Structure 1
Amino acid sequence: MTTITPPVARPITPLGILTAHLQTAIEQLQHSEDATESVQKALDLAIGLEEYVNACTTSESKDLKAIAQKTQREPWDQRFSDGETVRHLEQEMLSGHVEGQFLKMLVHMTRARRILDIGMFTGYSALAMAEALPNDGILVACEVDDYVASFAQNLFDQSLHGSKIQIRLAPAIETLKQLADQGESFDFVFIDADKREYVQYFQLLLDEGLLAPDGFICVDNTLLQGQPYLSERSTNGAAIAEFNRVVAEDERVEQVLVPLRDGVTLIRRV
């Protein structure tokens, strides 16, 4: 009996092609010192991808650009405290242009009117989503750091859509419980806060009715520098891996992990 070996799938995505070039380079390095061509092709793919995606995505508004520029200029290495908790802040915590437009598009697509933003930082993602809300739409933004909350509020006050945003200054878990006690629910929820509390946020949203029946949850950093699928993990990497496992095993929802920026997971109740 003749066994037919199925053909190996040809890599067709930038990541797949990048991986193939790197695998070829490793094989060449084992037999030859000249692996320059494959390494160069891999480098070209890696370098060009983000710039091209940015160029092909609708430009950010002047208000979003103002948040990005002011966040970049801020000396975050001098901002560490939020009460009793030590917190390291950095400009890389900003969602950024492509993810901001992605969130804005999701709000348009879902026709959300009430949004919950868990983890606001300087307000880029909050304002991006608020720009897609109708005039009577509301976005509740959770932030634990009073300096950051004031920083964002000043920028919201100067923007066209900032009046739709209500900042709740408190640990996110406390705010979620208060909102649940008040009977609040939301059409769209964006999670980008303490990675160690992601599982709690997710469970509170589902268990306490904070997520509307037809609502969606969008979760940031669910690839976290690749740590969830690598052997070496930080505390946050382990927390994200656990969150991804909990979501995947929860029969109340279905989800898709999109390799956008540092990983974005979309979740809906079934």
Structure 2
Amino acid sequence: MDDDDLSFLEKSLLQSEALHQLHFLLNRAIWSVPPEEGQLLAIILKAMNAKRTIEVGVFSGYSLLSTALALPKDAKITAIDISRDWYEIGLPFIKEAGVEEKINFMESDAIPALEKLVEEVKEDEQFDFAFVDAEKADYWDYHERLLKLVKVGGLICYDNTLWFGKVAHPPQDDAPKFINPIREIVLQFNKKLAADTRVELSQICIGDGLTICRRSA
């Protein structure tokens, strides 16, 4: 790596850190993956030599920026989110990091967007990797479609699968209103994933829980 490459990398990582800090100013840090999870995803992508990835649920694009920085220059990321407004908040950081050209942003509900991709993507164009951090109630519907989009041997990663650690404990009456209903949704999703013979998986205690699925069939 020459000095120019190192300088570019340093500047790009500074943009990633700046975007992460912005979440605290907006009081939305809980909506974004933590830096250690972004780093893990980046290492996984580099180890895979991934070039085609898909992200379901973008928010301001912190995880998107983390993965884009890890991918080679000719890589492509299909990023799907219902709101372009939040993506626009992170876009200046993505541009400054020099990775905007890798990203194809789709403003859409995830399920119709994935359905469209299932119809359009040919077998030799399947994705190497997918990261999901969107509507928890739809995780299984995403899963069924992503199994048609991610190639055999590719990875599908699901965020928030420990749900504040609540999946390991009975429902709590004094928990915030959104906790218990989604706890049950995530718990049922985890059980279905564990029984799915089309994937091998590992659930990691990082951030709010990350489940890594390798498509085996």
Deviation, 1:171, is 0.8
In the alignment, structure 1 residue 73 sits paired with structure 2 residue 30: no
Deviation, 1:181, is 1.3
Aligned-residue CA RMSD in angstroms? 1.5
- Which of the numbers 232, 236, 254 marks the counterpart of 2:200? 254
Q: 4+ residue runs of structure 1 moved beyond 4 angstroms? A: none
Q: SS where residue 97 of structure 2 aligns?
A: coil
Unpaired runs of 5+ residues, structure 1, are: 1-59, 77-89
Q: TM-score, normalised by structure 1?
A: 0.69
Residue pair 1:258, 1:265 contacting (<8 A) in 2 also: yes
Please name the residue that 1:214 is paired with: 153
Q: SS where residue 70 of structure 2 aligns?
A: coil
Between the aligned partners of 1:258 and 1:109, the Cα distance in structure 2 is 18
**Equivalenced residues, count:** 195
Please name the residue that 1:18 is paired with: none
User: Higher RCO, 1 or 2 (CA under 8 Å, sep at least 6)?
Assistant: 2
Identity of aligned residues (%): 30
Residue type at the aligned position of 2:202: V
In the alignment, structure 1 residue 197 sits paired with structure 2 residue 138: yes
Residue pair 1:64, 1:124 contacting (<8 A) in 2 also: yes
Residue pair 1:221, 1:262 contacting (<8 A) in 2 also: yes
Q: TM-score, normalised by structure 2?
A: 0.85
Please name the residue that 1:93 is paired with: 31
CA displacement, residues 52-95 of structure 1 (integer Å, 9 cap, x when unaligned): xxxxxxxx811101211222222x5xxxxxxxxxxxxx321111
Alignment of 1:84-123 (within 5 A): 90-123=28-61
- Which of the numbers 230, 237, 241 marks the counterpart of 2:187? 241
Q: SS where residue 74 of structure 2 aligns?
A: coil
Unpaired runs of 5+ residues, structure 2, are: 1-11, 172-178
Please name the residue that 1:231 is paired with: 170
Residue pair 2:37, 2:207 contacting (<8 A) in 1 also: yes
CA displacement, residues 222-257 of structure 1 (integer Å, 9 cap, x when unaligned): 101122222106121111111101111111111111
230-239 or 111-120, larger mean C-alpha shift: 230-239
Deviation, 1:96, is 2.0
Deviation, 1:153, is 2.4
